Amino acid sequence: MKKKLIIDLDTGVDDAQALMVALSAPDVEVLAITCCHGNTPLENVLKNTLRVLKVCNRLDIPVYRGCAKPILARKQHAGDYHGKDGLGDVPDPDAPGLELLQKRNAVKAMIKIVKENPGEVTLVATAPLTNLAVAVELEPNFPQKLKALYLMGGNVNSRGNTSVCGEFNFVADPEAAYIVLDRYTCPTYIASWEFSCKMSLPWSFCDKWFAQGTEKAKFMEKITKLSMTRAKSEVYEKEITEGGGFNSCDVYAMAAAIDDTIMTQNEQVAVTVELEGKFTRGMMVLDYMEKLNKNHKAHIMKKVDLEKFKIMLMKSLK
């Protein structure tokens, strides 16, 4: 049987990479793509998602419009890294139109699909967690019907990329992240910011990745140019990626959802999100002392098999 996925994203460059990895996996069935605010405003996320599907010849996959703003936080985006449009500011004049979107709301679609496939759907979330938080508010038993949740977000060493101590997806909607980590008691796997930095891809691999000569490879090289230029800047590379190369954050969560053997090390610990701190709002908190008295513990990804990971990425652009 194929693995059934719902992918919740805010299509910037690394979301596009993660989506293309999923679409190239032969044993994966993408049931739906639900879109959320995040790297770029929701309208751009919708357009970008359809652009990726067009390049992959998979416009048959249903795409749904989700939440356009966070629950309480002020809206913010990551245009400095992903481009103002979220895909490197290289527009496609022949991009698919939004008339291709499904009419049903993303959250309601997510709930319906999971109800129809109880215990079979893995949810991969690479955006702020607003859609997921609204889903559990509307349907409290929703998480129990999932097979598993894989998400990119949060941090483990209070090392931020958006605020002093916060990672973008969690800072963009701290209340949503808190709700999800508190109420999703299905098996939960988290690819954190610092983890993805340590697992970054060598620049020599990126050159090989783009050199495959396919339409997908040309598309990826084009949309990634801006973020790679940003990543190669001396300050960014030294302070964030520790000199290791390109960090494709969202792909780690997707790769683990597709093939859990790619994870070579993880640890189980209860987690929550700080909502009130002046400097720490949105920071993920790991409860090593078990002060939270939580029965549910998340799997925090620590290491992946980089060679397997690279193979997945290479196949995604063939």
What pLDDT does 236 receive?
47
Count of structural domains within the chain = 1
Tokens 């483990």 belong to 156
What global pTM score does this model have? 0.96
- The arrangement of strands across the sheet holding 121-125 comes to 63-65, 28-35, 3-9, 121-125, 148-152, 188-191, 298-304, 263-269
Query: Can you give the pLDDT at residue 16?
Result: 98
Cβ neighbours for 54, distance < 8 A, ≥ 6 positions apart: 95, 96
Could you give the C-alpha distances from 253 to 61, 206, 222, in angstroms and in order?
A: 20, 19, 23
Amino acid identity, residue 145? K
Q: What is the mean pLDDT of residues 186-192?
A: 98
What is the per-residue pLDDT for 237? 47
Q: What percent of the chain has pLDDT over 70?
A: 97
Print the domain residue range for 60: 3-316
Mean pLDDT of the chain: 95
For the ranges 58-72, 229-243, 280-294, 298-312, the lowest mean pLDDT is seen at 229-243
Report yes or no: 100 and 147 within 8 Å, Cβ to Cβ.
Answer: no
Give the tens place of pLDDT for each residue, 13-69: 999 999 999 999 999 999 999 999 999 999 999 999 999 999 999 999 999 999 999
CATH of the domain at 218: 3.90.245.10
Helix (H, G, I), strand (E, B) or coil at 59: coil
**154-168, 194-208, 222-236: the lowest-pLDDT one:** 222-236
10 is catalytic: yes
Mean pLDDT on 289-301: 96
Lowest mean pLDDT among 51-65, 186-200, 243-257, 289-303: 243-257
pLDDT (tens digit per residue) in 224-271: 999 988 887 755 445 555 556 888 999 999 999 999 999 999 999 999
Token representation of residue 190: 């988290």
* Among candidate residues 261, 311, 274, 269, the one with its CA nearest the CA of residue 294: 269
Q: Quote the pLDDT of residue 158.
A: 87
Measuring CA to CA, which residue among 243, 146, 248 is closest to residue 187? 146
Percent of the chain with pLDDT over 90: 89
Average pLDDT over residues 199-204: 90
Catalytic member of 8, 10, 15, 250: 10
Radius of gyration of the chain (CA): 18
| Residue 160 pLDDT | 86
Q: Is the pLDDT of residue 127 over 90?
A: yes
Q: What is the DSSP string of 117-184?
A: STTTEEEEE-S-SHHHHHHHHH-TTTGGG-SEEEEE---SSS--SSSSS--HHHHH-HHHHHHHHHH-
> How high is the pLDDT of residue 234?
53
pLDDT band at residue 189 under the 50/70/90 scheme: very high
Taking phi first (over 0 means left), then psi (-120 to 50 degrees means alpha), and beta for anything else, what does residue 153 get?
left
What is residue 245's predicted lDDT score, i.e. its pLDDT? 83
Q: What is the mean pLDDT of residues 282-306?
A: 96
Region 184-204: mean pLDDT is 94
